[in-house]
Amino acid sequence: MTSTTPSLFETRPPSTLAESAFVSRYGWVYEHSPWVAHKLYERGITSALDTPTALADAMAAVVNGAVDDDKLSLLRAHPDLAGKLALADLTASSQSEQKGAGLDQCSPNELARFTELNDAYKQKFGFPFIFAVKGFDRADILAAFERRVKNDAEAEFNEAIGQVHRIAKLRLEDL
């Protein structure tokens, strides 16, 4: 017989938390952007949000309903991938996610290419390249980077927001 540790959703469902506890527990899900959790709490947290998927969808709705300036700030709160990993102010989650994809083990050529693409991407779009790295390796991420740096501004803004939502959902599922 195996024993499993209950998830945070089982031991203290979101609907049972006071605002400060809710923001403390879920404010980090969107990188350096606790405003998402604050706004969701203001809208009301019911038992319908007591699953990772439902909470992820509700948090995504908050972001999707935000003005573009707030979305841009959210995108800019994310770290570079690989190129400046050692210098970036990474949250523990970002560090773990990037290490899981092997971005801390780039060859000198890969590191140079990531750095070059990071610089070109930020110059073109005004925010760092965002990619939900879980389940992907360096080659996959580099290929997506090469492809996405060619996008137009609107398409890439929308793609980056979608990636942020995927990151948030994965983080909630990991709880």
Closest by CA position to 170, among listed 133, 138, 137, 141: 133
| Structural domain boundaries enclosing 87 | 72-174
What pLDDT score was predicted for residue 83? 56
**What's 113's domain CATH number?**
1.10.3330.10
Q: What is the pLDDT of residues 56-101, one digit of tens each?
A: 999 999 999 999 999 999 999 998 877 554 445 556 666 667 776 6
Residue 105 — pLDDT band, cuts 50, 70, 90? confident
In contact, 105 and 113? CB cutoff 8 Å: no
Mean pLDDT of 26-43: 97
- 44 plus 116 within the same structural domain: no
Lookup: tokens for 141: 């991420």
Q: Is the dihedral of CA 74, 76, 79, 81 positive or negative?
A: positive
Q: Active-site positions?
A: 78
Mean pLDDT of 39-46: 97
- 97 plus 166 within the same structural domain: yes
- 36 plus 61 within the same structural domain: yes
